[in-house]
Amino acid sequence: MSTTYPRPRGTYDILPEDSHRWRHLEDVFLDVCARFGFRRIITPIFESADLFERSVGDTSDIVEKEMYVFSDRKGRRFALRPEGTAPVVRAYVENDMHMQGGAARLCYMGPMFRYDRPQKGRYRQFYQYGLEVIGSNSPAIDAEVIGVAGLLLCTLGLVGWKLEINALGAPTTGDAFERALVEYFTPHRDELCEDCRTRLEKNPRRLLDCKIPGCRAVAKDAPVGLDYLSPEDREHFDIVCGHLTRMDIPFVVNPRIVRGLDYYTGTAFEIVDDRLGAQSTLIGGGRYNGLVGQVGGKDQPGIGWAGGFERLLLALDEEHIAAGEPLRPVVTVVALGLQAAAAAPALAQRLRLAGLAVEYDPDKTSMKAQMKAADKSGARYALILGDDELAKGVVALRNLTDGAQQELAEMQAIALLLENK
Ligand code: HAM
């Protein structure tokens, strides 16, 4: 039905019949993270707009076109967070987490916001999960971080994904790679979009990231960063690849991966599932060794990745994987007659106190309506309370799977239900 106030374009409601799938993803994600020693961090949903402009980059699509920026009543500029890395790094710096010794392993999930044209797998509010390791530049950490993503997808039962990796190399303005890009793109200037002409002057690396078909066609044969790596960066990348091979994580090197955010400096990777269509990247991430310094902290290397639950669910659908089970009550209380109806709420409360999920609907009075409700909710037992049972001080417990029914004292019924919940 249409409403006077429909939800904003590019957003969605997660209805109760689906919410168990989200819960399942949250549980599996946190469980897999815990196996690697990651602890959850929860940061605000809005941050100073400058934080993203400075870190994600003011020539990136996210900042230029997609950020929800607003001013508060005192005229301070904020942004709904478009991604999680900059806020996590901000929190790391602000809370002196480098003092805790060793690299910080932080994971997070929650809504992010990007104003983009909505389509399958792309929303204006989406639910992102991700992790960051701040304080280590070891190539073993790159491999381990990628290993978390692989294990997450395997644990969910997904098999149809592909890991692509690349090395971007630390960007220094005017370096050999940038010069090569300018040299390559300048003769094609007229074929480029307005934005790319600006990028040619301001941030040539961004030329590789434009989504406009004309620009993509030109970028197809552009130089790739992998050919311009310093010997140290090359060695780092080779070690990462060696670890991945020994960890049995299949990957392909794709020198065309650029990533859409400015903070990347080294290993970059994407996990793609081609069956998802245009929005096929399940997970994307990489190394950002300059970001902590940029955000005002003492220089620390960092690496991480993030993905969206929505695309994960699409991938699960593709592979016909159910993702968790809907919550259902263990028992439905069926009250027959006025006296039983008076006793039922307290009975339900005692059962819940014992730890059982209980359904009782006082608006249904007939046996038929109450049994139908029990059937619909998927309860495995009905606890029937009628005048007879009340008089005898017992309850009738019916197993809804096989129809077997027995009269029990309330305490016995609770014990049996707890045993079988
Ligand atoms: P990103 O590539 O911008 O990277 O986003 C990561 C993932 O978030 C995407 O691969 C996709 O699964 C999901 N995603 C992004 N935008 C949308 C959208 N509009 N609708 C639905 N899903 C979306 C980052 O955000 C970096 N912070 C990742 C990172 C962490 N790098 C290092 N650490």
DSSP string, 363-389: T--SHHHHHHHHHHHT-SEEEEE-HHH
pLDDT in tens, 333-353: 999 999 999 999 999 999 999
Number of helical H runs and strand E runs in the chain: 15, 16
Q: Which atom of ligand 1 is nearest to the CA of 84?
A: 27
Q: How far is CA 49 from CA 43, 247, 310, in A?
A: 15, 40, 26
Please give the distance, rounded to the nearest whole angstrom, from the Cα atom of residue 207 to the centre of ligand 1: 19
CA dist 295 and 17 (Å) reads 42
CA of 82 to the centre of ligand 1 (A): 9
Q: Model-level pTM?
A: 0.93
Q: What is the per-residue pLDDT across 297-314, written as a single tens digit (0 to 9) for each? A: 999 999 999 999 999 999
> Probe ligand 1: pick from 126, 164, 166, 271, max atoms within 8 Å of CB?
126
Rounded to whole angstroms, how far apart are CA atoms 286 and 202? 23
Task: Give the Å distance between the CA of 311 and the centre of ligand 1.
Answer: 10
Helix (H) or strand (E) run with residue 349 in it: helix 338-353
Q: How far apart are alpha carbons 21 and 14 in whole angstroms?
A: 10
Give residue ranges with CB within 6 A of ligand 1. 83-85, 114, 116, 121-123, 126, 128, 130, 132, 260-261, 281-286, 304-308, 310-311
pLDDT at residue 211 is higher than 90: no
What band does 355 get if pLDDT is binned at 50, 70 and 90? Answer: very high
- Return the closest-CA partner of residue 266 out of 278, 257, 279: 257
Given a contact cutoff of 8 angstroms between Cβ atoms, the answer to whether 113 and 75 are in contact is: no
Residue 247 pLDDT: 97
**Residue 260 Cα to ligand 1 middle (Å):** 9
The tens digit of pLDDT for each residue in 220-274 reads 999 998 999 989 999 999 999 999 999 999 999 999 898 889 899 999 999 999 9
pLDDT at position 258, please? Answer: 86
Which one-letter DSSP state was computed for residue 208?
A: G
Instruction: Compute the distance from residue 128 Cα to the ligand 1 centre, in Å.
Output: 7
- Whether the per-residue pLDDT at 135 is higher than 70: the answer is yes
3-state secondary structure 105-116: EEEEEEEEECCC
> Given pLDDT bands bounded at 50, 70 and 90, which one contains residue 3?
confident
41-53 average pLDDT score: 97
pLDDT digits (tens, 9 = 90+) for 404-417: 999 999 999 999 99
Q: What is the pLDDT of residue 176?
A: 87
- Out of 22, 55, 56, 128, mutate this one to test ligand 1's pocket (max ligand atoms within 8 Å of CB): namely 128
pLDDT of residue 123: 98
For the cut 90, the answer to whether the pLDDT of residue 41 exceeds it is yes
Q: What is the pLDDT, as a whole number, of residue 369?
A: 95
Average pLDDT, the chain: 94
% of the chain beyond a pLDDT of 70: 99
The answer to whether residue 174 scores a pLDDT higher than 80 is: no
According to DSSP, residue 119 is labeled B
How do strand 281-287 and strand 405-408 relate by DSSP bridges?
A: unpaired
Distance CA 353, CA 240 (A): 52
Q: Which two tokens stand for residue 338?
A: 């006025």
Query: For residue range 109-133, what is the model confidence (pLDDT) as tens digits?
Result: 999 999 999 999 999 999 999 999 9
Question: Residue 172 pLDDT > 70, yes or no?
Answer: no
The whole-number pLDDT of residue 272 equals 97
